[in-house]
Structure 1
């Protein structure tokens, strides 16, 4: 009689066949794991039993419509109990999976027969025990729980086992033959079945994992200064003209900083000063004025009709529009007068402004979720719905770590139900526990510490940490932002900007740049890790065409990087990353490999990156490549995707890198069939 144990409930015990450390499972199943459509996901567990009898493990994957499919896990390190398989869900929605471990009586008997029959040990008993096993299989066929097509093979093997006139080896031969083994591998006979799960797996659209973002301030696009009349702001219509250039560089997402009306009370001047001059536009993060709040457009930028035209042009070019959502208000925001309960009031009766010591933001009032949670929740939800109705498909959320995690869990769950196509990026440079929790409660992507991880050792350790968190936190790499310019970037010149773009674009599937990156804007404000003349507080039109004509722009490199990413599915993934060794500790070497099935192209795809990490030092070094990870022989051909050059390499090639001229190789492995 088969025994079944269910491990889904708390206190269910270890079960007949222990199943431990199931992956991908987040916090024991408290939060769902996530992947994107077509992504290859490894499912694993430690499963074992007492004694020496054979066992097996099966995965049962349930699609959103309830249909189930089974597949076997395989022991990947015999004797150490790790079982694995891969899945590749092709449709979005809420999936689930469970694992079933079992004792395998046929495999146990088959092993016994292969040992005892050649040795002449108890042949009649071995045949009798085999007949008992196959009789059970035949009974399942007769009961209709196993396909009738299995019958002829099973009956023939059973008849042979019951034929004493044959030699022992002849009696067992049909029961050990490949056709019967295949039947029982696909539909095993199972005892002591133990179930772990079900565990949730949310499958999201590809952009949740892979994409290239370009951030800009719409008011700077087309802005101009006249000595007599001062500044004239750019508009959404002039900003739309920039979309062609963004598309030519291969970016998938146009990310707009806030476009809402800006308050005048405590308006900041240039470089965050408290002394604004006539014409200073103020920070777009000081949201709200008598003209409206988060659901309105700054009058100087245009109208909702202009915004719709911007979105339509982006869609024509294959670009999605992301909007910056900053859940905070200027003192002039309508919410301040209409809902003072949504803010923190100090002992002197004033509303508390935002602070991040030593930074002070007197022009910004943070929201408080502790007095009218339901009302504030509804207002934010309705505001997001408004922009989604106008074509926004991604939101970059400013400082989500300053709002309750409970709020995000509830809000993102609601939008997962109502708008599963909409993606939320968390801009949370904060404690790792909060960053990871924001991923667990539903943020699709997260900014990361890449900006401050510089050495090869730091980058390797950080990527290994991110891979572990891949079931719930997808990293987005930005070399700079409108708020951040590290000493590395401000002292390294063009070499630093080239190098960090290459690393950001190849290490992870999602990366982004802030406008002006292509012009190597690298002058810091004294005493701060941010740009001088910060665009948050002033108009900043740029001569992109002139810089490109003079050969000063990084636009060709950025276009090349995005083209390489688009052409190579291996770079659209995170988890296949493998690190290799180099004799020079500042050289980072890593590869990403997808087999033919996972690449979706019918051929394997392998990209190998060899890169400097210091912007002021060249390198001549020997590599030590893991050929198994690359799935190549002792010699193979590579093509540099940046230059088109080809090389014959082996396990330990010698490379020469130059910070000024050749800071990195981005190589594709040329398979023998291409030669």
Structure 2
């Protein structure tokens, strides 16, 4: 009995195997899965996120590398084309080239110029003409299969010459070439010269002679407005602008009207986004005093992030700042000088917020009956209640949408979101998608100083921009790794906003690096990424930290901080002229408006960082390429002399070629090559921003 069962199973296996041999796809169908690969395999499409789970991101004007891995068996050549569909349904074709020999990785660069949802596919095919050309160029001069090769080439051209999809003039060109190949009365060299016919090659490149066509799956790229990807941000507290200490020691708060007077100066420095901390009423319960103390005085203004009081919550304006009409005036004055206003969106509440009484279920109640306040150990925020998103998710979502729509209707199109990593990811995916479906111009910046997976997750589900770890990346090795990751690992979905400081972050580099540290960090932020920012006071070299904390002493979060910027500049103690220079360089050099074009070069010194930003002439709008080389001494306490080593092919030059560079910081000019001596004095000019002016004549 056992032997008969074995023989029976063996017989079924033989029958199944025989059927599989007759039909190569039989085993796949028996397994219940259809074939997932074309005749020419196309894999690893880029840009894409998590196999298309979310769309990749771009912004108007960004130059995006589209990539795919494509190959076939044997030695015959293939061709690869990007099929790109614009939001209006127009499809364009872009030939792709091998990015490096032997990798089977194909790519092309495309500048996306229209906002909306783009889709793309990759088409791969057997390039029959290229394969014939390759073989003919080897065999015919060697006298191998000469007439056979000419016959094969002529037949390919004959077929192309009757293809009605080709213009008539092109068909005549192809037919004439076929006749030349087939004419045995002509010299071999004359017949073979068809390969070098530029007009023929251009025509065939446009409409290849091909077979075995395969097309990839479709992927999506969402192109958002330019401000979603490019901008210079400046943060200030409107209550400090125009604030005055009165004779009795109390303060008179600045208002939207007094803060509006600061906007032209910010615009003159070249900043185009002004970010305001929360402008809502501030709670009294557990209000924090100076330097985060627990004993606030009667006249201490409290933290703007402790939102809500008897005067209202997230849809109200602090009475000290003015009215809705005053806020509209502030927005109007900003618009006149080319500035957009970014408003803080902080989903949390003070104990006095109207939500606490109306919706206690929106918070976490502890076993002792108290409501849990916010903590980020060892920091405690007794004046803030975090939201519990699980008790009434529908109610919280509806309220969040209402608040955002309210401020958008007033004219706000940018929101800096406070601590988004303490809220559920699916909430952000929902609310950002809802808002952007109605208001595609709205931009959300994530203040997400958190674990990489969560930081990146927030970007994937919709945030247009994100704070990063930049403030804690200070050595050459740290910066090289950080910048390389921004370009090669996360550029398809994460747009870094390189803030150099915030009210909560005064890094040790700034605390102890002196003015040189401020100049180095500003130069790196402004040149490495299309979006960067500074918090007010940075230009005054404010560097004294509160003991035991990584933030300024007398922190503006808890008190008024009016500053005399004009006096500092007159005394030569302001970084404002350098910040203005950086924003002007950014405006004049489109290469700095891109992220994916950053390339790390090398130096012989452990503290001299070198990178370039290059943009081909086709994308600059000027008809000329734009190339900058940034060389920075990242040790603010030293003078560094070393050699820098450049891969000049990264910006379109040949190895061994010399070229002229102009330092946009100092005005100096030099002749450079692949290897160059530099001297960077941290106490005077720690950074070169070199414009490449082309090969030396």
TM-score range, shorter chain: over 0.9
5+ residue gaps, structure 1, are: 1-8
1:28 aligns with 2:62: no
CA distance in 2, matches of 1:176, 1:506: 44
* Structure 1 match to 2:132: 109
Match for residue 369 of structure 1 among 389, 394, 401: 389
The answer to whether the Cα contact below 8 Å between 2:58 and 2:221 also exists between their aligned partners in 1 is: yes
In the aligned structure 2, how far is the partner of 1:603 from the partner of 1:372? Answer: 57
Per-residue deviation, 1:333: 1.4
> Take 1:421 and 1:553, find their aligned partners in 2: how far apart are those partners?
35
**CA displacement 1:193-232 (0-9 Å, x = unmatched):** 2211211111112212211110011111111111326111
2:453 counterpart residue number: 433
**Alignment partner, residue 619 of structure 2:** 598
Is 2:465 aligned against 1:465? no
Deviations 1:220-267 (A, max 9, x none): 111111132611111010000110111111111111010001111111
Separation of aligned partners in 2, 1:117 and 1:495? 66
Q: Which residue of 1 aligns with 2:380?
A: 360
d(CA) in 2 for partners of 1:361, 1:102:
62
2:476 matched to 1:485? no
Looking at structure 1, the residues matched to 665 and 33 of structure 2 have their Cα atoms a distance apart, in angstroms, of: 54
**1:73 maps to 2:96:** yes
* More divergent stretch after superposition (568-577 vs 239-248): 568-577
Q: Quote the Cα distance in structure 2 between the aligned partners of 1:64 and 1:592.
A: 29
Alignment correspondent of 1:617:
638
Q: How far apart are 1:10 and its partner, in Å?
A: 8.7
Alpha-carbon distance in structure 2 between the residues aligned to 1:30 and 1:11:
21
Deviation of 1:104 after TM superposition, in Å, equals 1.7
Q: Distance in 2 between the 1:422 and 1:18 partners?
A: 39
Q: Is the 8 A contact 2:603 2:610 kept in 1?
A: yes
Report 1:341-420 matches (<5 A).
341-420=361-440
Distance of 2:644 and 2:273 partners within structure 1: 36
Shift of 1:445: 0.9
Equivalent of residue 604 in structure 2, options 562, 577, 583: 583
What is the Cα deviation at residue 650 of structure 1?
A: 3.1
| Pair 1:64-2:84 in alignment | no
The question of 1:54 aligning with 2:77 is answered yes
Partner-residue secondary structure (3-state), 2:380: strand
SS at structure 2 position matched to 1:382: helix
Give runs of aligned pairs for residues 34-433 of structure 1, distance below 5 A: 34-141=57-164, 145-161=165-181, 163=183, 174=194, 177-228=197-248, 230-433=250-453
In the alignment, which residue of structure 1 is the partner of 2:24?
none
Change (3 A) 1:166 1:640: closer
Q: Which has the larger displacement, 308-317 or 119-128?
A: 119-128
Structure 1 position 453 matched with structure 2 position 476: no
Q: CA–CA distance in 2 between the matches of 1:176 and 1:655? A: 46
How does the TM-score come out when normalised to structure 1?
Answer: 0.94
Q: Which moved more, 1:470-479 or 1:122-131?
A: 122-131
After TM superposition, give the deviation of residue 580 of structure 1 in Å. Answer: 2.1
**Structure 1 residue aligned with 2:533:** 512
Specify the alignment match of 2:565 in structure 1: 544
What is aligned with 2:683? Answer: 660
> Compared with structure 1, are the counterparts of its residues 12 and 534 closer, same or farther at alpha carbon in structure 2 (3 Å cutoff)?
farther
Whole-angstrom distance in 2 between the partners of 1:665 and 1:556: 16
Q: Which moved more, 1:476-485 or 1:132-141?
A: 132-141
Deviation at 1:562, TM superposition (A): 1.0
Query: Cα–Cα, structure 1 residues 229 and 165, in superposed 2: closer, same or farther, change >3 Å?
Result: closer
Q: CA deviation at 1:176?
A: 6.8
Secondary structure of 2:141's counterpart equals helix
**Gaps (5+ residues) in structure 2?**
1-31
CA distance in 1, matches of 2:136, 2:479: 53
Deviations 1:138-167 (A, max 9, x none): 4431xxx33344321233334445555556
Instruction: Tell me which moved more, 91-100 or 32-41.
Output: 32-41
For 1:120 and 1:80, how far apart are their aligned partners in 2? 32
| Aligned equivalents of 1:587, 1:54: Cα separation in 2 | 44
1:168, distance to aligned residue in structure 2 (A): 5.8
- Does the 8 Å CA contact 2:60/2:112 hold for their aligned counterparts? yes
- Per the alignment, in what secondary structure is the counterpart of residue 137 of structure 2? helix
Select which of 541, 545, 549 maps to 1:528: 549
Q: Is the 8 A contact 1:97 1:199 kept in 2?
A: yes
Contact map agreement 1:157 1:172 (CA 8 A) in 2: no
Match of 1:59, SS?
strand
CA contact under 8 A between 2:638 and 2:683: conserved in structure 1?
Answer: no
Aligned residues of 1:267 and 1:276 also touching (Cα < 8 A):
yes
| Equivalences, count | 663
C-alpha separation in 2, matches of 1:287 and 1:167: 88
The 1:157/1:638 distance shift into structure 2, 3 A limit, reads closer
Q: Distance in 1 between matches of 2:651 and 2:461?
A: 35
Aligned residues of 1:158 and 1:175 also touching (Cα < 8 A): no
Structure 2: distance between partners of 1:92 and 1:434: 27
User: Bigger CA drift: 324-333 or 171-180?
Assistant: 171-180
Q: Contact 1:64/1:93 (CA < 8 Å) preserved in 2?
A: yes
**Paired residue secondary structure (2:218):** strand
